[in-house]
Amino acid sequence: MPKPAVLLSQKLNKFIEEALADDYDLLDLPEEGVNALGARAADIRAVIAFGGFSAEQMDALPNLEIITCPGVGYDGIDTDHAASRGIFITHTPNVLNDEVADTAVALLLNTVRQFYFAEKWVRDGRWERDGAFELSPFTLKGRKVGLYGLGRIGEEIAARLEPFKVEISYHTRSPKKGVAYAYHPTLASLAEAVDTLICIVPKTDETHKTINADILKALGPNGILINVGRGWTVDEDDLIAALEAGTLGGAGLDVFYDEPHVPEKLLTFDTVSVLPHVASASVATRRAMAQLVADNLKSWFAEGRPVTPVPETPFTPKV
Ligand code: NAP
Ligand code: 8YV
């Protein structure tokens, strides 16, 4: 029995190849794209893709059965087209919740207390040379934190924030059962009620640039925006304008609109903390994500059922 051929559409998680090497015939996506696979295109039964896989790419692979996304966000993978072709999509929910929630809290503290700049002060020898670092203009104490998104990761962020004694509320499309935090039916009403907004919603048509000038202004001059969801959700021009005008206090960002590009202007504010999309990027968590990719493929090829399919491709057993 030949090993199933699996196409790696990009190299993001180095543990994936390690987890799949023994059981699959692994192929790299040619730089010229799927059409350059030639005769091998017909062999491919699975694709590993993060950040997108189009209908056109799927159609170049006539025997494609499953696309496994090594991340929880599977935006850019054409779910409708996959469903119409009977192609399953899987992702890696839950195994990264803790890491991403930890990062959100770290980013929040870094932003309000300017710890990056404080550490740089020491490393640059300025403590000894120039004296004490400046007082941070913001504090976490007494903040009202609004979560835009209260799913798997949002809930973990909220749980971590409880001991900080901040007031927590949230906005999602529908109220979450069994949750005591105050619910806001719109993002605008959440932003009016809080001074700190944490974004952890997926990239969808509905969430495009929803964090705009009005939302940022509502957070106010003491306001802080934290984004660990997708850069897609924030209007970066509006964010820069709000920071420049002082209508928003600061921002902590792990994700950007056009990664890896980060608008240069954002880097000029010492009330902005930036990370290169590393919320899940620890060895332990990336290994767990790679293992879940492998588990999905194993279960699919052995039993015809993936472990963690996305909701748009509801599970129907192959056998
Ligand atoms: P999840 O469990 O599906 O939660 C998504 C939450 O967003 C839910 O509470 C959902 O509630 C809400 N939501 C969805 N669409 C909305 C809308 N239009 N308006 C308001 N709320 C909306 O997903 P998750 O596992 O927590 O992950 C969330 C996202 O985080 C991922 O999709 C990914 O993009 C991002 N992420 C980023 C990193 C990183 O490295 N920075 C790592 C992991 C995940 P309702 O359905 O009730 O609206
Ligand atoms: C990673 C993510 O950057 O899971 C997501 O949606 O954005 C992050 O965990 C991604 O999985 C890269 O492998």
- pLDDT (tens digit per residue) in 39-76: 999 999 999 999 899 999 999 999 999 999 999 999 99
Dihedral of the alpha carbons of 107, 147, 153, 66, in degrees to the nearest 10: -110
pTM given for the model = 0.97
pLDDT of 317? 57
* Rounded distance between C-alpha atoms, residue 183 and residue 208, angstroms: 21
- Distance from Cα 129 to the centre of ligand 2, integer Å: 41
Q: How far is the CA of 74 from the centre of ligand 2 (A)?
A: 9
Is residue 188 helix, strand or coil?
Answer: helix
Catalytic residues: 230, 259, 277
Contacts of 52 (CB under 8 A, 6+ apart): 75, 76, 77
For the stretch 235-293, pLDDT in tens is 999 999 999 999 999 999 999 999 999 999 999 999 999 999 999 999 999 999 999 99
181 alpha carbon to ligand 1 midpoint, in Å? 17
pLDDT at 11: 83
- Residue 315, pLDDT > 80, answer no
Buried b / exposed e along 64-91 (16+ C-beta atoms within 10 A): bbbbbbbbbbbbebbbebbeeeebbbbb
Peptide bond into 260 cis (omega under 30): yes
Q: Does residue 255 contact residue 227 with C-beta atoms inside 8 Å?
A: yes
Candidates 10, 96, 201, 296: which one to mutate for ligand 2, based on the most atoms within 8 Å of Cβ? Answer: 96
Nearest atom of ligand 1 to the alpha carbon of 93:
25
70 lines ligand 2 (CB under 6 A): yes
Structure tokens at 31: 């730089």
pLDDT of 153 > 90? The answer is yes
